[in-house]
Structure 1
Amino acid sequence: MNDAPGSSPRGRDRRRTSVARAALLITALTVQAAANDRVHVQYPEKSGEVILVGEIADFVGDRLTIRLRTSGPETVSASQILHIDTYYNPAHRAGLALLDKGDVPAARAALVTALKDEHRKWVDREILAALIRCDLRTENLLAAGETFASLLDADPESRHWSTAPLVWTPVPVGVPLQSRARQWMNDPRPGMQLVAASILLLDPVYGDIARRSMEELARTPQPPVAALARAQLWRTRLGGQAIPEKELQSWRTEIEYLPAWLRAGPQYLLGRGYLSRNLPRDAVTEWLWLGTSYKDLETLSVRALTEAVEALREVASESEAEAVAAMLRREFPWAAGSVPQGNGGSQAP
């Protein structure tokens, strides 16, 4: 939730995201001050919240290092962090606000400016992740892939894996994207190999090569890559045939082992699997997770909820369909125009 800029005596502007998200809970302050970062931590051995005050030195992988005012540096696991108070420059705050409103071109321009004005490496990566969100909104996988490559360069164990530009739904792959994906197939970084194989997985020419690459990545010791590669291979099973119930149960087990911020894509495919068995209500149950708990991939969440609305209307459940449509408008107001209209032909503002 955002307070209006200048609404408090100090003009403090806030931006918060779900604790399950890669961005954690970050409060963006409009006033910059030396050593003014505050990291709110819940240690397992303590009952109350602890606030670490100082300057965040870096946030790499799942480890945050803060130089405390009263002592030396301290490292905290991301799983222990409740939220962070830090400074975002004006262009950064403007870019996020514009993205929330759905003005993607203006948001992207502001975030590019923010990246030039920002000097903290860990905040640079926050901006890069926001730029990927912009490109995914416009289905520009080429730009999203290039930015994700920059993220991996800066932090090979990136905690922004939830923004990885992987393909979970059918998308057009033009010649420029196909050509770049073929180059990424030979990239030394497993993360970029995963992006490439995802883009080319169902390609009529390069699909077999991409599938073999994906199968190799599924055996890599790098957990995010291996888990996502295994889920990506499910796409090859959704070619029109009904997926056996036992296989869907194995998919569900895989998802349960994933951290929440990586579940959106696999959860969507599980819903498609149930739909292949002509079980629309089971599919809707899976897709609703993308509107409530697993919202990191915004465009996929919108797609899942839209398909849920359509599935419920197919089984003549208009009241349930409208409830899901209301959720879509509430959680993703910038996508309100994509909400399917009901039998009444009207759409809530």
Structure 2
Amino acid sequence: MPATRRNSTPVSKQFIAWLGLAHFMSGSLLAQDRALIQQAKGTRIPVSGVVQDYTGRELVLRVKNNEPPRRYPRTEVIEVTTDYTSHHNQGRKLFAAGKIAEANREFTAALEEEDRPWVRREILAGQVRCALWKGDYPTAASRFMPIVESDPETFHYNLVPLNWANDLPPANVKFEARGWTDPKAPLVSKLIGASWLVTVDENADEAEQILKRLARESDQRIQRLAQMQMWRVKLRQSKQIDPHEISRWQQFAEQLPVELRGGSYFVIGQASKQGQDFERAARAFLWLPLVYDSDRWLAAHACFEAADSLSALGDHNQAGSLYSEVVFRFGDTPWGRPAETAWKALKPATREAPSPVPNPPAP
């Protein structure tokens, strides 16, 4: 907040302040934002200035008023810090504390008072997280699409509210998804909509054709996500996926930017489980609750499926541990009650010493 001007300020202090302003206008710029930059030789340097934009491609930072802004590739940016409004800060704190409804209200207030485009994208991302926490995919989509419209290369793609399971979508999502796939809709809207409609019999063929077209798009984020969505189509149409093809899927996923990987492991887990390779399935599913948990409902589903896979292996101790995690961490999701039932059924068998939970491979 700018300092309040007082009429009683002595003339000398006013003159000194004016000199400071003149110096500011002539070359230097008051440090408002801070960035930590990774140089080619491995050295990290702090830089201060005013962030003019921060996208999935680059950081644009004005250090001095009389110089062009400096541009740093996103790959060189370790972190960016700035001053947020009180509503924004409170929203972040409340979300971290699991107070989602309160956090969302704070983010809504923050959005009304913030005019920096890159910070507005952060606030919208906060709202997407709140919606995903509750499994509110229509709201998540409505908040995510403006992020991509503002920054097509956004690093918030880990929040894209796609469907990765092959279950039927909820009625409200199915209704909204038909609008998202409108021919005039943006690419990301079509991608989200098609991901939900591809499991709906009356819309599956059209959704599949949309995904095939998107899989040839020049936008690599859209293209890669659509290609992985097509794995779901193949999984629905096949009784079993060849293990070598599943290995190719995994290699494909491991070459992606981190923010695009999460959902792919769910499909890999499903394919492995369908082929009764339960250990591989558990390893794939565990990526979501352990690492890629932005979509909390998908992480809960994956944790349940990992427990199911370990139970099929006869590892009732670790299956019980994962069922209990679903109950205590994701109990308000649709998998909380089934996990509690399965956990209670396994309890007598879980008194032995537990064996290690299989870890996912290193990224």
Indicate the SS of the match to 1:290: helix
CA distance in 2, matches of 1:290, 1:136: 14
Query: Which residue is equivalent to 1:128?
Result: 124
Match for 1:50 among 45, 63, 74? 45
Unaligned 5+ segments in structure 1 are 1-32
Deviation readout 1:241-285 (Å, 9 max, x if unpaired): 121112212212321221111111011110111101111111111
Counterparts of 1:76-87 in structure 2, within 5 Å, are 76-87=72-83
Query: Is the contact between residue 54 and residue 66 of structure 1 (CA under 8 Å) also seen in structure 2?
Result: yes
Structure 1 window deviating more from structure 2 (96-105 vs 53-62): it is 96-105
Where do residues 1-349 of structure 1 align in structure 2 (5 Å cutoff)? 35-44=31-40, 46-69=41-64, 72-170=68-166, 172-174=168-170, 176-185=172-181, 186-239=183-236, 241-321=239-319, 324=322, 335=330, 338=336, 340=340, 341=343, 343-344=346-347
Which range moves more in the overlay, 53-62 or 168-177?
A: 168-177
The answer to whether the Cα contact below 8 Å between 1:53 and 1:69 also exists between their aligned partners in 2 is: no
Identity of aligned residues (%): 26
Structure 2: gaps of 5 or more residues: 1-28, 351-363
Distance 1:222 1:131, change over 3 A: same
Q: Secondary structure of 1:206's match?
A: helix
Relative distance call for 1:324 and 1:42 in structure 2 (3 A) is farther
Letter in 1 for 2:121: R
Structure with the greater alpha carbon radius of gyration: 2
Counterparts of 2:323 and 2:180 in 1: how far apart (Å)? 38
**Number of residue-to-residue matches in the alignment:** 310
Partner of 2:11: none
Say which SS state the counterpart of residue 82 (structure 2) adopts. strand
CA distance in 1, matches of 2:130, 2:166: 19
Q: Tell me by how many angstroms 1:161 deviates.
A: 1.4
3-state SS in 1 of match to 2:347:
coil
Paired residue type of 2:210: S
Aligned AA for 2:240? A
Post-superposition CA distance 1:125-166 (Å, at most 9, x none): 011111111112222221112112221222222221111111
Q: Equivalent residue of 2:47, what SS?
A: strand
Using a 3 Å threshold, how does the CA distance of structure 1 residues 258 and 333 change in structure 2: closer, same or farther? farther
| Partner Cα distance (1:306, 1:94) in 2 | 32
1:97 shift after superposition: 2.3
- Name the stretch that deviates more: 62-71 or 114-123: 62-71
TM-score (norm 1): 0.80
Aligned partners of 2:266 and 2:97: how far apart in 1? 25
Structure 1 position 173, deviation (Å)? 3.5
Deviation larger for 86-95 or 217-226 = 86-95
RMSD: 2.7
Larger helix percent:
2
* Inter-partner Cα distance in structure 2 for 1:236 and 1:264: 18
Of 223-232 and 74-83, the range deviating more from structure 2: 74-83
Contact residue 265 and residue 285 of structure 2 kept, 8 A = yes
Q: Which of 297-306 and 195-204 deviates more? A: 297-306
Normalised to the residue count of structure 2, the TM-score between the two structures is 0.77
CA distance in 1, matches of 2:294, 2:79: 17
**Alpha-carbon spacing, 1:333–1:120, altered in 2? closer, same or farther (3 Å):** farther
How far apart, in 2, do the equivalents of 1:304 and 1:174 lie?
A: 18
Higher mean C-alpha displacement, 55-64 vs 178-187? 178-187
Please tell me the residue identity of whatever aligns with 2:319: A
**Distance in structure 1 (CA, Å) of the matches to 2:331 and 2:177:** 32
Q: Is the 8 A contact 1:274 1:283 kept in 2?
A: yes
Residue aligned with 1:311, SS: helix
Deviates more, 1:246-255 or 1:114-123: 246-255
- CA deviations over 1:73-127 (Å, ceiling 9, x no partner): 1111121111222222222222222222332222211111111122211010011
Letter of the structure 1 residue corresponding to residue 88 of structure 2: H
SS of aligned partner of 1:205 = helix
- Distance in 2 of aligned mates of 1:187 and 1:172: 25
Quickly say closer, same or farther: Cα 1:76–1:255, change in 2 above 3 A.
same
Residues 187 and 193, structure 1, Cα contact 8 Å, conserved in 2 = no
